[in-house]
Amino acid sequence: MIKASLLAFLPELTLLSGALALFLVSLGDQLVRRARQVALITALATLVACLFSLGQEAVLFDGAYRVDAFSQFLKLIFGLGLVLLVLLSGELPDIRPEVKPEYFLFLTLSVSGLTLLVSCVDLLTLVIALQLSSFPLYLLVPMRREGTARRAQMESAIKYLMLGIAANGIMLFGMSYLFGLTGTTRLPELFARLAPQMDSPVAIAALALTLAGIFYKLAVFPFHFWTPDVYQGASNETASLIASLPKVGAVAVLVRLVSLAAPEQESVALLLAILAVVSMFYGNLIALAQDDLKRLLGFSGIAHAGYALIGFVTLEQAGFTAALYYIVAYLFMVVACFVVICQVSTDGVNLGFGDLAGLHRRAPLLAVTLGVGIFALAGLPPFAGFIGKLALLKAALAKGYLVLVILAVVNTAIAAYYYLGVIREAFFREPGDRPLIAVGLPVRVLCLVLLAANLGLGILPGRVLESISTSLAGVSGLDQPALVSAAPARQSAGAAAPPGPP
Amino acid sequence: MFEPTYNATFPVLSVLIFSPLLAAAIALAFRDERLLRWWTLGFTVAAALFSLPLYGRFDASTAAFQFVEDRSWIPALEVRYTLGLDGISLLLVLLTTLIMPLCVLASWRYIRTRVKEFMVCLLVMETAMIGVFCALDFVLFFIFWEAMLIPMALLIGIWGGPRRVYAAVKFFIYTMSGSILLLVAIIALYLQVGSFSIPAMMGREYAPGFQCWVFVAFFISFAIKVPMLPFHTWLPAAHVEAPTAGSVLLASVLLKMGTYGFLRFCLPITPQAVHVFMPYVLALSVAAIVYGGLTALAQSDLKKLVAYSSVAHMGFATLGIFALNRPGIEGAILQMINHGITTGALFIAVGIIYERLHTRELDQAAGLGPRMPIFATFLVVFGLSSLAFPGTNSFIGEFLVLSGGFMVSKVMVVCAVPGVVLAAAYMLRMLQRVVYGGTRNPPHAGVTDLNWREVLTLAPLVVFVFWIGLHPQPFTRVLHASVERLVEQTAVANASELTWHD
C-alpha cells in the first residue's frame, strides 16, 4: 500500500528532491554548469518517474490529492516540458551571474508546483499548488541582467506580482463563497452540493470568481494585462517558461473544475464564450501592431487562450479533450518559437522582426523550427495546431455554437497575417550582414524533438487524443466512486475542513 | 455508392502520394547540386511512369471510385485515411505527375541558389497536389489543400522576382483566408452526415438553407483558387514573381484545384444551391473570360499576359462546370487539362526567354524568330493552342464548353464569344511581336536557340496539344461515367423554376 502510493507520488518526489539538490548547489560556489546538470538530471529523472507512474491510481493525503490517468498524463507533459526548458535555457546568458543557479532551482520548483496542481481535488491544496507554481515565476522575472536603460524587468516583475496577487485575491474570494455555499473544500463533494444551487446568482458568481485565478494563469482577456509586458521584460528563457507550462497547468485545472461542476448552465457557457471571443479578437488584433517578437507571442498567447476556451464553452468531454490537446500542442509550438528567439538573440536582447532577416541562410535548422512553430500556431496542417483547431471547432459546432466557430476561424485568418510576417522575415528576406548562428548539440536535439512533436501531433494525433479522452472520462466520472472512497478519509480529516453547511 | 472495383492490395495511390516526400528526405542528404538535380528529375520521371498504369487499369465503365484505400486514421475525430480516383481526378493526377519532371527541367539553369531547398519544395508540392486529387476524406483533403500553401509560398518568396515577398504574402493570405470557411463547412457537413467521407456526403438531401451556406463557404474557397473574377488579384502578382517552375505549377495544377473543388464538392453535395447560384456564377465566368482577354491585350510583360489569359481560360472552365450538363462539364475538365498543358508550356517558354534576355518585356523580346527558329515553332504551336485554334487541344475543350453553355443560356454564350476573339487578338499580337517583331528589333546578339534540355521540356507538351486536339477520345473516354453520375447528382427535381431564363 505504502509502496503503491510512493510510486504514485514518485514524479513529485523526484522533482522536489531535485529542487532540494539545486538549493544545495545554489548555496555553493555559484557554478551555473553544475546547477544546469543537476536540473537536467532532475528533469530526465522526473520524465522517467512519470513514465513509471503512468498507470497509477491513488488517493493521497486524506483525499485531497488524487493520482489518476488525467494527472499522470499531464505530469508526463510537465516532465517533458521541464527537459525542453532546461535544454532551452542553456547557460542563461541573460540572467544575473550571481543568481544563475537559483534560476534552475525556481524553474524546478515552479514545475513541481504544476505537477501538484493537476492532482489537487481540494480547494486548499489547489491554492497551495497554484502558489507554488506562481511564486517562483514572480522571482524569475527580475533575475534578468540589468543594463543602462534596461530595467523593464523590474516593472514587469512588479506588474506580474501585483496582478497575480490581485487575481489570487479574487479567486480566494470566490472560493470562500463556494465553501460558504457547500461547507466543504473537497471538490467532488463541493460540486455535488453546489449542483442543486447552480441556478442562484451567488453560485455562478462564486464559480466565475474562482475561475478568475485560473484565467490569470492562462492569460484570458480581462486577466491578460500582465502578459505582453512580462514577456517583454523577462529574459527570453523566462518568457519561454511563462508562456508554456503554466498554461497547460491552467487548462488542466479548468478541466477539473469545469468538468466536476458540469453546469448545464447557459450563463456559464455564455460567459466562457464571451471571454473566448474577446480574448481572440483582442490578442490577434493587437498582435498585428507588434514589433517585438516576444510581445507578439504574448498577444498571440492571449488569442490562443481564447481558442482553448472554446473547448470549455461546450461544457462536455469532447470539448475538454480538444482544449487539453490544443494546449499541449501549444506548448510545443510556442517552445519551438522561443528556442529560436533564445538562439537568435545575441546577449539576450529582445528581438524585433528585423533580427530574424535571412534566418534560413544563417541557421537553417532554427529557421525550420521557427517555421514549423509559427505555421503550427497559425493552425496550418500538417502540424499540431491544425488538429487542435479541428477538434475544438468540431466540438463547438456539435453543440451548435456556429457564431463562435465562425468568429474563431475569422481570427485564424487575422492571425495568419502576423504569423506570416515572421515567416517573411525569416525566409524571404536576405540576411544582409547579419552573422551566421552556431547551434550547439543540445539545441539541435531540442529542435529535432520539437519538430517531431509538432509534426507527430499533427499527423498521428490518434493516441494522444484517445489517452486524453479516456483520462478525462476518469475525471468527470469521478463523483460517485471518489465520494465513496474519500468518505472514510474525510472523517479523519474532519479537523482540516471546517464543519457544517451554512 | 462506395464500393471499390479494384481490389489490389497494393496501395498504389499512397505510394504515389508519399514517395515524393521520401525522395525529398533523401534529397536532403545530397551535397552535390548536379547530382541533386538528376536525382529529382529521375524521381519525378519515375513517378510519372509509375502513374501511367493507373490509366490502363482504370475501369472507365463505372463511376465508382477506384484504387480505393481506406484506413482508420484519427478515430477520436472520426477522420479516416481514404483515397480513391474517379474519371474526374484521374486525368488531373496524371497531369500533375507529367508536369513535375518538366518543372524540374525548366529550373535546371534558372535556379542557381539553394537548389536543395528548391527541389525539396517541389517534391513536397507533388505530394500535396496528388494528395488533394486523391483524398476522399474531407479532412484529409483539407490537410493536403492547406499543406500546399507552405511550399508554394516558399517557392515564390525565396526564389521569386523582385517583388516576391509581396506576391508570396498576398498569395498565402488570400488562399488561406479563403479556406477558413471551408473548414467550418466541412465540420457542419460532418455533423449532418456523421462521417468525413466525401462520397457519403454526396447525393444527400440537405435543407436548402444549409446547402446555400455550405455552397457559399465552398465557393469562396474554390473561387479564390481558380481564381474567378473578383478574387483573381493574387494571381498576376504570384505568377509574375514566381520562378518558372512555380508559375508552371500554379497554372497547371493549383488553379485546377479550384475547379476540381467545384466538381467534387459543390455540384454533388449542394446541388440545389448550385441551381440557385448558377446564373451568378455563369455571369462571373463570362465576365472573367472577357475581362481576362481585355487585360491580357493590354499587357507588355509576357508573364502577366499569360497570367491574365489564365483568368480567361479558367473562366471557360467554370462556365462549363456551371452549365451543369454533360458536354459542359466534360469540356470543362478537358479545358482544365488543356490549360495545364498549354499555359504551363507558355510559362516555360517565357522562362526560356527570360533566361536569355533577363527581361520579360514584350518589346525587348521582339523579333526572336530568326535567332531561335525551334523556339519560335514551339511558341506558335502553344500560342495557337491557347487561342483554341482548331486541331489543337483547347479547341475541343472550348467547343464542348460553349455547346454545353448554349443549352443553358444563349445570352451567356453570346457574351462569351468576344472572349474567344480577344484570345486570338492577344495571342497573335504576342506571337507576331516575339517571332517577327517590327522594323527596329533589339539586336539579340548571342542569343542561342533551344538546347536539348529545353526541347525535351516542351516536346511532351506539343504531343499532348495535338493528341487531345485531333483524337480526344482516349481522354474523354474515362470521363463519361463519372460525369454522367455527377450530372445525375446535380439534377434537381424542381430545377425548372431555379434555372436561368433568358
Strands A65-67 and B66-74 turn out to be unpaired
> Which three cell numbers mark B179?
479556406
- The distance of B326 to chain A (nearest Cα, Å) reads 35
Q: In whole angstroms, give the CA distance from residue A366 to residue A359.
A: 7
Q: In whole angstroms, give the CA distance from residue A89 to residue A342.
A: 8
Interface of A with B in 343-402 (CB under 8 A): 360, 371, 375, 378, 380-382, 386-387, 389-391, 393-394, 397-398, 402
Determine the length of chain B: 502
DSSP string over B88-140: HHHHHHHHHHHHHHHHHHHTTTT--SSHHHHHHHHHHHHHHHHHHHHB-BHHH
Question: Could you give the percent of chain B with pLDDT greater than 70?
Answer: 96
Q: In whole angstroms, give the CA distance from residue A323 to residue B313.
A: 45
Taking residues B328-348, what's their average pLDDT? 92
8-state DSSP, A98: G
pLDDT band at A487 (very low <50, low <70, confident <90, very high): very low
Interchain CB contact of A405 with B (< 8 Å): yes
Chain A residues lying within 8 Å of B150, measured CB to CB:
371, 375, 380
pLDDT band at A411 (very low <50, low <70, confident <90, very high): very high
Interchain CB contact of B172 with A (< 8 Å): yes
Kindly provide the ipTM of the predicted complex, given to two decimals: 0.87
Question: Could you give the percent of chain A with pLDDT greater than 90?
Answer: 44
A168-206 tens-digit pLDDT: 999 999 999 999 999 888 888 888 888 888 888 888 888
pLDDT band at A476 (very low <50, low <70, confident <90, very high): low
Is B143 in contact with A429 (Cβ distance < 8 A)?
no
Look at residue B248 in the predicted model and tell me its pLDDT. Answer: 92
> Which three cell numbers mark A413?
485568418
Look at residue A33 in the predicted model and tell me its pLDDT. Answer: 84
**What separation in angstroms does the CA of A425 have from each of A187, A291, A354, A357, B4?**
49, 12, 7, 5, 48
Residue A97: pLDDT over 80: yes
Residue A499: pLDDT over 60: no
Other beta carbons less than 10 A from residue A193's beta carbon: 16
Q: In whole angstroms, give the CA distance from residue A362 to residue A436.
A: 4
pLDDT band at A148 (very low <50, low <70, confident <90, very high): low
Question: Going by C-beta distance under 8 Å and a sequence separation of 6 or more, which residues neighbour residue B393?
Answer: B334, B337, B338, B341, B342, B385, B464, B465, B466, B467, B468, B469, B472
Look at residue B500 in the predicted model and tell me its pLDDT. Answer: 40
DSSP string over A393-421: HHHHHHTT-HHHHHHHHHHHHHHHHHHHH
8-state DSSP, A90: T
Q: In whole angstroms, give the CA distance from residue B156 to residue B246.
A: 7
Cβ contacts below 8 Å, chain A against chain B, sum to 91
Q: In whole angstroms, give the CA distance from residue A412 to residue B260.
A: 25
Taking residues A63-92, what's their average pLDDT? 89
Look at residue B2 in the predicted model and tell me its pLDDT. Answer: 42
Residue A281: pLDDT over 90: yes
Residue B501: pLDDT over 60: no
Select from B252, B277, B250 the least CA-distant residue to B262. Answer: B277
8-state DSSP, A223: G
Q: Where are the domains of chain A?
A: 2-146+154-482
Select from A15, A169, A207, A211 the least CA-distant residue to A105. Answer: A15
Question: Going by C-beta distance under 8 Å and a sequence separation of 6 or more, which residues neighbour residue A331?
Answer: A77, A81, A244, A245, A247, A248
- What ranges make up the beta strands (E) of A38-87? 58-60, 65-67
Chain A residues lying within 8 Å of B142, measured CB to CB:
381
A23-62 tens-digit pLDDT: 988 887 777 888 888 999 999 999 999 888 887 788 888 8
pLDDT band at A2 (very low <50, low <70, confident <90, very high): low
Residue whose grid cell is 453546489: A194
Question: Going by C-beta distance under 8 Å and a sequence separation of 6 or more, which residues neighbour residue A491?
Answer: none
B131-171 tens-digit pLDDT: 999 999 999 999 999 989 899 999 998 888 888 899 999 99
> Which three cell numbers mark A34?
553544475
Interchain CB contact of A321 with B (< 8 Å): yes
> Which three cell numbers mark A418?
502576423
Interchain CB contact of B165 with A (< 8 Å): yes
Is A386 in contact with B76 (Cβ distance < 8 A)?
no
Give the mean pLDDT of chain A. Answer: 86
Taking residues A105-115, what's their average pLDDT? 93
Residues B360 and B354: beta-carbon distance below 8 Å: yes
Residues B247 and B183: beta-carbon distance below 8 Å: no
What SS3 state is found at A53?
coil
Type of residue numbered B420: V
Angle at B329 between CA B328 and CA B333, to 5 degrees: 120
Taking residues A399-424, what's their average pLDDT? 91
Residues B351 and B367: beta-carbon distance below 8 Å: no
- The distance of B173 to chain A (nearest Cα, Å) reads 7
User: Directed axis angle between helix B115-134 and helix B87-106, to 10°?
Assistant: 170
Interface test with A, best of B72, B121, B187 (most A CBs within 10 A): B187
Select from A407, A395, A372, A74 the least CA-distant residue to A247. Answer: A74
Residue A154: pLDDT over 90: no
Type of residue numbered B426: Y
- The distance of A480 to chain B (nearest Cα, Å) reads 26
> Which three cell numbers mark B193?
452526415
Taking residues A424-444, what's their average pLDDT? 87
Q: Which residue has the higher pLDDT, B442 or B130?
A: B130
> Which three cell numbers mark A161?
506580482
With left for phi above 0 and alpha for psi between -120 and 50, is residue B359 left, alpha or beta?
beta
Other beta carbons less than 10 A from residue B29's beta carbon: 9
B344-393 tens-digit pLDDT: 999 999 999 888 888 888 888 888 888 888 999 999 999 999 988 888 88
> Which three cell numbers mark A278?
474577446
The number of CA neighbours under 13 Å toward the Cβ of B474 is 10
B81-124 tens-digit pLDDT: 999 998 889 999 999 999 999 999 988 888 888 888 899 999 99
Look at residue A143 in the predicted model and tell me its pLDDT. Answer: 87
Select from A26, A76, A54 the least CA-distant residue to A331. Answer: A76
Type of residue numbered A301: G
Question: Going by C-beta distance under 8 Å and a sequence separation of 6 or more, which residues neighbour residue A61?
Answer: A125
* From B79-88, B206-215, B431-440, the region with the lowest mean pLDDT: B431-440
Q: Give the H or E element holding residue A359.
A: helix A359-362
Is A382 in contact with B187 (Cβ distance < 8 A)?
no
**Partner-chain residue, chosen from B147, B157, B169, that has the shortest CB–CB distance to A381:** B147
Residue ranges of alpha helices (H) inside B194-270 are 198-201, 208-225, 234-241, 244-249, 255-261, 267-269
Select from B247, B454, B442, B252 the least CA-distant residue to B362. Answer: B442
B188, closest residue in chain A (CA to CA): A397
> Which three cell numbers mark B138?
474531407
Question: Going by C-beta distance under 8 Å and a sequence separation of 6 or more, which residues neighbour residue A189?
Answer: A182, A483, A486, A490
End-to-end CA distance of chain B: 36
Is B172 in contact with A420 (Cβ distance < 8 A)?
yes
What SS3 state is found at B496?
helix
Is A469 in contact with B76 (Cβ distance < 8 A)?
yes
A309-350 tens-digit pLDDT: 999 998 888 899 999 999 999 999 999 999 999 998 877 788
